[in-house]
Structure 1
Amino acid sequence: MDLRPQASEVPGKSGFDGRALDTIVSVFERVAAAKSDQVAIVCGEVRWTYGLLNARANHLARRLQELGVRTDSFVAIYLDRSPEMIVAILGILKAGGAYLPIDFGYPKTRVLEMLEDARPVAIVTTAALASGVSGELTSLSVSVVEMEGGSSIPNSATLNSSEPDSPPCAPRGEDLAYLMYTSGSTGKPKGVMVTHRNVLRLLEQTDAWFHFGANDVWTMFHSIAFDFSVWEIWGPLLTGGRLVIVPFVVSRSPQEFYELLSRERVTVLNQTPSAFFMLIQVEQDSAVLPLSLRVVIFGGEALQYRKLAPWFQRHGDTAPRLVNMYGITETTVHVTYRPITAGEAESVQESLIGTPIPDMQLYLLDEAKKPVQEGEVGELYVGGGGVTRGYLNRPQLNAERFIDDCFRRVPGDRLYRTGDLARIRPDGEIVYLGRNDSQVKINGFRIELGEVEAALAEAPGVKQSCVVAHTDKTGTQRLAAYFVAAPGIELTARMLGEFFVSKMPAQMRPSSYTALQELPLTVNGKLDVAALPAPSVGSAGVVPAGSTQQSLSDTEERVSRVFTDVLDLRGIGLDDNFFDSGGTSLLLISAHLRLQAQFERLIPITLMFECPTVRSLAKRLSTNGSSASDKDAIQQQAQKARGAFARARATKGVAS
């Protein structure tokens, strides 16, 4: 079925000043020239103007050109969230190159895989981060540009907006803007090549829906290595808005992030559904703060409309508007648009993804690449301006996934085969049904099971193994690993968990490791997924959930109960790491909120990262709890929230 929007559904062109020869650089420079003294970036107490940001980016661009950066050259960014990260992105683009974002929390193995595949000319990082991969950078002939001290990147005290103009470079719309890696089925990550034009047309084509402008305040909530960040960064910086960089720790504390949204008067919020549901929980558990949100945009994973009911009951559905947008890295962040009404939160049980962006086309095809009929399940194919250049160094995969568009018959036009399943309802709504292959989404991250399986097979002592997606009792999808140990080898879940810490980023680590005598097979010799036992986790000294063993203190018992409940485990060892036992950042948020309620006290979110085991966290909670009344701390939090609300009412006239 052809899912292209009808003429009446296509919004008209309005405020965004798109020009045929524009690039991200040219649009940004026009904005920076017009709004030189206006604040572009906020990060904690730091506030940079467009003029200062532009000047710092120019300085870095000239340095990168001296190192040989040219059109379509790759320059890696290996930094924590900071204003310097935005300088790095802009400087690379101004030099004519394309940026390669690497999350500073990735394991060394993952970082090196990306660098070896992309072979960047340079890496923009800090001395501390560079020291961890210095030998490998030398062998790859990668120049290191440090973002702290030295003459390469001066600080704001020695640099102002009167710096010389941009370096001599005129990137074109079809030049690469960034290379973003996603999980790969072969066991190696694959890099998606995205152009300036891919990004610009996304803002142009959605302008009539959103009307982003100078009065908007956005948050950079997501990792630079997650494509949602592309929308979060360029949405404000190419329309004259303000970008609030959210520190990692704040992004993992719903209460602190909620307070930031109120304090900075954020108007545009982009969230995965899982993260937004945490904000809903914060509002239900504490004083409601005044918000300036005008639109909340969902993406990254399937949205369950019914979970939005508490939000709509409190805020209604017009201020802010809530919008669901389906998208893929290979088609530049977003593909569809669908506003959500309060009534639908009470009635819609399916994941509806809406109308294609005007310059995009959706087709629902069967295995023979023929359109399916209404109501039939088919695979989504995406065509149009968002389709990217393809994968780096993957000609065979490009031939499989990026195919000629036989429907539009325009030379050079291609379709991207998504691997996602959908169907069309009689009313024309598109219902997203999930993946048709071994690819899954965990907390918004697209993960190839084959890549995780390949890593597990490399673990010492593993004879056979497999990884499957498992849905727990809360409806959360997680990775479950099964393994058969080699003869004579003692292999535990803890050992495998420690192995994965050095191999994979947190979102790609299994939540459980189940030992088997042999893998179950079907009569055809294939893995019999249905015959796999329920996932289990454990290590030496596992404490059963709800245990009342005398060896546990009261605090350990309560922490253990929260951990096992949140992780959906039968038990957890006193010294088992929360993250190695299947925990994710979002699950840690849930545990944090429950522990605060359990102990009736404020618990810094940083403590959860510092003490990720039952024993270590219980010890800190026991030693740090006597300085003030727990109930007083909770009351102080509520008073702080009420104070912020009162101040906002006084300055903005917010109605109670």
Structure 2
Amino acid sequence: MQDCLTDWFLETCARQPERTAVVCREESLTYAGLAAEARALAAELLRRGVAPGDLVGVRVARSIDVPVAILGIMLAGAAYVPLDPGYPAERLRFIVDEAGIGLVVGEDVPARGHPAAPDAVLPRVAASDRAYVIYTSGSSGRPKGCVVTHHNVLSLLRAALPLFDVGPDDRWTQFHSINFDVSVWEMWGPLVTGGTVVVVDADAAYDPELFLDLLLDRRVTVLLQVPAVFRLVAEAHVEAGRPRHALRYVVFAGEAVDLETAAAFVAGQPGDVRLVNMYGPTETTVYATFKLLDEEALSGRTNRSPIGHALGHLSITLRDADGVEVPAGEAGEMWISGAGVCGGYLRRDDLTAERFVTSDGVRHYRTGDLARRLPGGDLEFLGRADRQVKLRGFRIELAEIEGALRRCDGVRDAAVEVVSGREVGDYLAAYLVAEEGATDVVGRARAGCERTLPPHMLPATYTVLPAIPLTPSGKVDRSALAARR
């Protein structure tokens, strides 16, 4: 059994060195070519002083550089930290400083183009070694880095891949930013089963019509999508006359599935496309549940947000605020235990102790997500127990955005809510209280947020109020805010 992700990839490479491993626009690499580029990068990183266990930043554009960079860093015995080029400089500086990153692939060293290194002695990587650290939104206003090991990811792959009929003939899209951990499944799913990674370039990623063309032209068979984005792709498909596609699987994750859109997409379609809904926080390594969306599930008659059962390497219990398991059929917070639960947060022992708890000798991650277990064992997702939200696949702490707004010039107080729009879907709405005498508060707040927050955390609308409305108990009156829009 493989000890690390790179071992599994190299075993696949040895079986089929000349098959296409990755493609983006007109560029492609075979498995042998990808392995050679990654080995050369690993040798260069070692030459520059990277040591096993180090954290190395990755800041590359959507291209075949993505898998090269990740594989190269892992072959050097290090772990990667995504640094999305679209994130504000201040946020990237925070991540680099806190993670102690000394080298960034894509800035200090290119991903490709290094001399071949056939004689390079690469370090041995253990299952317990870190594979990556992905930073997520923090309720304190400080992003937190989830530390994930090779063992965590290997456990996911071994538990989840047998639920899919995939192999060397499949072509998977790499659609998501590597700052979003669905990208882990998008890359390793094909690379350990002999398939092809189809990296979605920036133009196609932000244009549903171009993305649909890519799906059709590349004959993509496995597509992973956040429901809000898939809705746009499905609309483009209808507008194009519902052309025949090669999709075999569409996997939803990141937010509550849109059953109506999913059902309409497969209605009357030739072929055998299977729709799957999966749920999971970054702290439990990408996915924690699996649900095949059959006709009954798509109807939504008994379960409006079906996330299915726990994957085989995990266990999910539903508990009340005191950590006591709730009776069957009642709502409770999902506590997840098992091989996918990560080691905690980088240099955040206090937060790790708060969210990762041991009960009856078993270590759990407290998700903050509510669910109900239905007759038959399926879980129904019910939303957040706190003010953390998921929007277009990204987990967002509204308190972090509120903190950023309060630090803006001219802003005395702020509140943020998620608003549902009929045509544009869910979006973030900011409510501001201006300091006395302040001018252009909206412009200052918008500019301040753009300097410090990543794009997915930027409010779409700003409303200036004389005061943030409060309930008699002193909490923000959310219903009153909704009335001010």
Selected match of 1:371 from 325, 333, 336? 325
Cα contact 2:297–2:306 (8 A) shared by 1: no
2:200 is aligned with what amino acid? V
In structure 2, what is the Cα distance between the partners aligned to 1:500 and 1:314?
45
The runs of 5 or more residues in structure 1 that have no matched partner are: 1-18, 127-143, 148-152, 537-656
Correspondence list, 1:94-113, <5 A: 94-113=75-94
Deviations 1:118-151 (A, max 9, x none): 111311114xxxxxxxxxxxxxxxxx2234xxxx
1:430 to 374, 379, 383: 379
Q: Report how far residue 88 of structure 1 moved.
A: 0.9
Partner residue of 2:283 out of 314, 320, 330? 330
Q: Which amino acid aligns with 2:274?
A: R
1:452 pairs with one of 401, 424, 433: 401
Offset of 1:507 from its aligned partner?
1.0
How far off is 1:166 after superposition? 5.6
The verdict on how the C-alpha distance between 1:165 and 1:434 changes in structure 2, with shifts beyond 3 A counting, is: farther
Using the size of structure 2 for normalisation, the TM-score is 0.96
Query: 1:154 maps to what in 2?
Result: 113
Counterpart of 2:265 in structure 1 is 311
Secondary structure at the aligned position of 1:532 is classed as helix
Q: Which amino acid aligns with 1:391?
A: Y
What is the deviation of 1:504?
Answer: 1.1
Is residue 2:24 matched to residue 1:43? yes
Matches within 5 A, 1:499-538: 499-534=448-483, 536=485
Give the whole-Å Cα distance in 2 for the aligned partners of 1:469 and 1:287. 33
CA distance in structure 2 between the partners assigned to 1:191 and 1:347 by the alignment: 36
Query: 1:285 and 2:239 equivalent?
Result: yes
Corresponding residue for residue 117 of structure 1: 98
- Contact kept, 8 Å, 1:493 with 1:512, in 2: the verdict is no
Distance in 1 (alpha carbons) for counterparts of 2:465 and 2:41: 54
1:314 match: secondary structure: coil
Cα distance in 2, alignment partners of residues 331 and 522 from structure 1: 36
Matched residue type, 2:193: T
8 Å CA contact 1:220–1:229 kept in 2: the answer is yes
Aligned letter for 2:109?
A: V
Mapped contact 2:170–2:220 kept (Cα < 8 A): yes
Q: Secondary structure at the match of 2:260?
A: helix
Q: Residue 380 of structure 1 aligns with which residue?
A: 334
Amino acid in the other structure paired with 1:215: D
Task: Give the Cα separation in 2 of the matches to 1:423 and 1:166.
Answer: 53
Contact 1:68-1:121 within 8 A present in 2 as well: no
Structure-2 separation of matches of 1:306 and 1:290: 20
Residue 467 of structure 1 deviates from its aligned partner by 1.6
CA distance in 2, matches of 1:529, 1:431: 25
Deviation at 1:473, TM superposition (A): 4.2
Q: Distance in 1 between matches of 2:18 and 2:119?
A: 16
State the SS of the aligned residue for 2:318. strand
Shift in alpha-carbon separation, 1:234–1:438, aligned structure 2, 3 A: same
In structure 1, C-alpha distance between the alignment counterparts of 2:340 and 2:427, rounded to whole Å: 30
Query: Is 2:121 the partner of 1:167?
Result: yes
Q: Which residue of structure 2 aligns with residue 417 of structure 1?
A: 366
In structure 2, give the amino acid aligned to 1:515. V
Query: In 2, are the aligned partners of 1:177 and 1:194 still within 8 Å (CA)?
Result: yes
Report the AA paired with residue 60 of structure 2.
L
Picking from 402, 407, 428, the partner of 1:479 is 428
Identify the residue that residue 360 of structure 1 maps to in structure 2.
Answer: 314
Give secondary structure in 1 for the equivalent of 2:109: strand
For each residue in 1:163-190, what CA deviation from the matched residue of structure 2 results, as whole angstroms up to 9, or x when unmatched? 5156331010010000001000111111
SS in 2 for 1:373: coil
Contact 1:447/1:508 (<8 A) preserved:
yes
- Cα deviation 1:54-113 (Å, max 9, x = unaligned): 111111111111222223210000111111221111110000000001111111111111
Q: In the TM superposition, what is the alpha-carbon distance from 1:474 to its structure 2 partner? A: 5.2
Residue pairs, 1:3-18, within 5 angstroms:
none
Number of the residue aligned with 2:224: 270
Cα distance between partner residues in 2 of 1:405 and 1:249: 48
**SS of 1:194 mapped into structure 2:** strand
Structure 2, unaligned stretches of length 5 or more? none
Matched residue pairs, number?
Answer: 484
- What is the aligned-residue identity percentage? 40
Larger radius of gyration between Structure 1 and Structure 2: 1
Counterparts of residues 584-603 of structure 1 (less than 5 Å): none
Matches of 2:119 and 2:188, distance apart in 1: 21
Separation in 1, partners of 2:200, 2:282: 22
- Paired residue type of 1:154: G
Distance in 2 (CA, whole Å) between partners of 1:262 and 1:474 is 26
Q: Where does residue 590 of structure 1 map in the other structure?
A: none
Comparing 424-433 with 179-188, greater Cα deviation is found at 424-433
SS in 1 for 2:405: helix
Report the secondary structure of 1:22's partner residue. Answer: coil
Aligned to 1:551: none
* Contact in 1 for aligned 2:410/2:444 (Cα 8 Å): no
How far has the Cα of 1:310 moved from its partner?
A: 1.5
Q: Point out the more displaced range, 487-496 or 449-458.
A: 487-496
| Aligned position for 1:224 | 178
Q: Secondary structure at the match of 1:145?
A: coil
Aligned pairs for 1:65-214 (under 5 A) are 65-126=46-107, 144-147=108-111, 153-154=112-113, 163-164=117-118, 167-214=121-168
Using the alignment, how far apart are the partners of 1:78 and 1:122 within structure 2? 10
- Tell me the TM-score normalized by structure 1: 0.71
Q: Give the AA of the match of 1:517.
A: P
- Find 2:13's aligned residue among 28, 32, 47: 32
CA separation in 2, counterparts of 1:70 and 1:24?
18
| Conserved? CA contact 2:24–2:198, under 8 Å | yes
**Aligned mates of 1:95, 1:270 — CA distance in 2:** 29
Amino acid at match of 2:251: I
Deviation at 1:287, TM superposition (A): 2.9
Provide the rounded CA distance (Å) in 2 between the counterparts of 1:511 and 1:207.
Answer: 38
In the alignment, the residues of structure 2 paired with residue 189 and residue 74 of structure 1 have an alpha-carbon distance, to the nearest angstrom, of: 17
